[in-house]
Amino acid sequence: MSHERTVGGLIKDIEHLTGVRVRLVRHWGGWFLEDTETGNDYALGEWKKWDTLLPEEQASICRGLSREEWIVLLQLGSADD
């Protein structure tokens, strides 16, 4: 089973599994994912909501948001990978 997701799918799955709202916001430097609970954000650059993210990219986003526990919830491997 592939765990590739679009950026929009990742946001939807995070919100569904954790109850934490994650926003896709545009700043002068490109697109960012923002964890509304912690205020942490992750720069996506020019990614669009419909672009596909590989599992490794999704895990990197979780780490960048300081939410390593989401890696396991999203079935992307272990938080230590």
Domain spans, the chain? 5-73
Which whole number is the average pLDDT over 3-8? 90
What global pTM score does this model have? 0.86
For 47-75, how does the pLDDT look when each residue is reduced to its tens digit (9 = 90+)? 767 789 999 999 999 999 999 999 999 99
Q: What integer best gives the mean pLDDT of the chain?
A: 89
Question: Could you give the C-alpha distances from 7 to 32, 42, 54, 78, 80, in angstroms and in order?
Answer: 11, 12, 10, 21, 23
* pLDDT one-digit tens code per residue, 37-46: 999 999 988 7
Helix, strand, coil fractions of the chain, as percent rounded to 5: 35, 25, 40
Contact (Cβ atoms closer than 8 angstroms) between residue 21 and residue 36: yes
Spatial CA neighbour of 22 closest among 4, 40, 47: 40
pLDDT band of residue 80 (cuts 50, 70, 90) is: low
